Chains A and B, each alone.
Chain A
Amino acid sequence: MRTEKNEFDSQIGKILSDAREEVPGRLWEGVCARMDAKASRGAWVFTARRIGYGLLAAAAAVALLLTIPGLLDSGNNADTYTKDYSLAEATTSEPAVIFSEDVAEAASESSDADTPVVHAGGAQPEPEAVQPSPVVASVAPVVATEAPATLLAEAKPAEKVVVEQDVLSEVSEPVAEAVAASEPVATQEPVAGKDEADDESAEDEHHFGKKIGITIGGNRQNNGISSTGAPTVASGGIRRAAVSLPKESSVSETDQSTYMMPLTFGLGVHIPISNVIGVSTGLSYTFLHRNFGGTYTRVADGEVSRIESDDIDHNIHYLGVPLGLYFTIYGNENKVRLYGFTSGMIERAISNKYVIHTPGKAYTLTKKLDGFQFSVAAGFGLEYRISNHFGIYLDPSIRYYFDCDQPKSIRTQQPWMMGLELGVRFNL
């Protein structure tokens, strides 16, 4: 080892190698403190590594679960009654259109009632050979009165009524025109979050309602059996149009939405490929919220009611698995690291709820949400390393949300979005 040394080197070496320094007592205390810290760090690193591997496994599991239909459903289509501040008010103060079977009785009652009510209900077969239609709003025979027509005409603008086609084919011409003129809607109720042509549909239904009243009062073409053989509900030669009621509760929007900034939190695992490049995955949670005015069509116990509210909260909770490519810009060995990244994410809604606020009462409607939300992002990030294996990060980014048939939210309205994700990252 000792080669090429000259006399100068040897003398210097001798002086310096025999040197001694005075060692203050605090240095031993510092050594002890560092040894204790290292021992606890060792345990912490062990734990952090385990958590990191566990997170990696969880992300893979969630990604797998997201692809299995039926799992991680955002709940059934369920309507729950959440708050009732005044039961007394609840029974009397609701503006409602309730369909039950005895229109005549209701019509006579409604003339005295404060709230206009049209009663129609499930299929009630006439005594003779009229087969009950499964979804029929049977209008009582005594329909020549003005009440049903009037009441239907006064129905809420956003209400939608579906008429079965086989019946429609046999209705009288005015009615057929009315039906043809109405906005075509399938057997589904209004889908919440979609843009509603409410004015147009409301106007059609209003017109349709009037025609029904007039038609029933005057139609005598059908003896109760349609040309296709499908039954119609008829009595005494008067044909009535069959009306399908919504099968599920729904919310429709009649006013502009106010959006809250999305909240996103994440847990990430960073896997280095080289000193500069690495990949990252993990779990990401996002909360979306908006508020709007609209109509809640509530189907419960065979009754349909419509509730207007200008204070409807729509909350969606997404769980996602991101996959990103990271490249370090500065500070690979430092406490603070600056990096750039590009990533993609697949998300699935784990909760989709509407909270309809009315005076004295609040309703919660849970709507099932299928499908995934795909997005891509790019940005810069800042990570503060608490230890070699654990840090907190802040990722501002620009993200694009693909049109994935998700309910209305700030993402559907503004697919290009600035995002800010705060999270904890484990470096493997």
Chain B
Amino acid sequence: MPMMQHFLRKLHLTNEASEGDLIARSISGDKSAQKAIFDSLAPQMLAVCMRYMGDRDTAEDVFQDGFVTLFSKLEDYSGEGSFEGWARKIFVNTALMSLRKKDALRAASELDAAAEMESGSPDGLKDLGYKELLRLVSELPAMYRTAFNMFAVEGYSHKEIAEALGITPATSRSHVQRARAMLQKKIERK
């Protein structure tokens, strides 16, 4: 495991050492180490799954698959960047695979084609809590929701989104704009 050894040599801080130690023990199959990693990442990763899948049951299914994939790919973690960021990518990819299997990433219908794209933020956004915002996002068509999540939350470029979803960057841009417009309208109605 040359990458793992490189990662372990870079560790010199206590908290990183403990994280590295947990990772090393998880790779060797230590259940308690795996549980510790699970406890530290689960709340954020479940939120990621909820954003992409739109409903709780499917999100929990993707969540569990995501952790199985994470533990199987722990050896691939090079130590570059944050561990949480690396884990988030795994869960996003797991969610995308699930959406592809369900054939949910079809081209969205031309909804609100003439929707005005606001550049500013609606007034109600500041008062909107996470739960409410999550509900509004889950009501978006799957393709719009996915493109918007990847762009606005995860920070992917349109080129990266296009490669992941099998669309063109222009289409990705269009999807994000439409999702934004729809969200703005929903927020303004509240």
Contacts and interface: CB of A to CB of B under 8 A. Distances in A.
Interface stretch (A22-30, A139-147, A353-361): A22-30
B145 to A, nearest CB: 11
A31 interface: yes
Interface stretch (B16-24, B105-113, B114-122): B114-122
Interface in B20-38: 31, 35, 38
A83 interface: no
Contact of B68 (A1, A8, A13, A31): A31
B68 A38 contact: yes
A30 B64 contact: yes
A71 interface: no
Contacts of A3: 157-158
A31 B67 contact: yes
Given A1-B155, A333-B101, A8 B43 contact: no
A8 B44 contact: no
Interface centre among B35, B42, B71, B173 (most CB of A within 10 A): B42
A12 B187 CA distance: 11
Given A1-B160, A22-B43, A333-B101, A9 B180 contact: yes
Given A27-B42, A27-B60, A38-B72, A1 B156 contact: yes
A20 B44 CA distance: 5
A11 B121 contact: yes
Interface residues of A, number: 31
A396 B42 CA distance: 49
A35 interface: yes
A35 B43 contact: no
B146 interface: no
Nearest to A7: B121
Given A9-B152, A11-B125, A16 B51 contact: yes
Contact of A4 (B63, B126, B137, B158): B158
Interface of B is mostly: helix
A10 B120 CA distance: 11
A34 interface: yes
Contacts of B31: 32
Nearest to A26: B60
A8 B187 CA distance: 11
A17 interface: yes
A6 interface: yes
Interface string A95-117: 00000000000000000000000
Contacts of A11: 121, 125-126
B13 interface: no
Nearest to B101: A333
Contact of B64 (A5, A19, A34): A34
Contacts of A32: 31
B183 A27 contact: no
Interface string A36-53: 001000000000000000
A28 B63 CA distance: 10
A20 B43 contact: yes
B64 A8 contact: no
Interface in A128-182: none
Interface of B: 31, 35, 38, 42-44, 46-47, 50-51, 60, 63-65, 67-68, 71-72, 101, 118-122, 125-126, 128, 130, 133-134, 137, 149, 151-158, 160, 173, 180, 183-184
Interface of A: 1-13, 15-23, 27-28, 30-32, 34-35, 38, 333
**6 closest pairs, A vs B, by CB?**
A20-B43, A21-B46, A19-B47, A9-B152, A23-B42, A31-B67
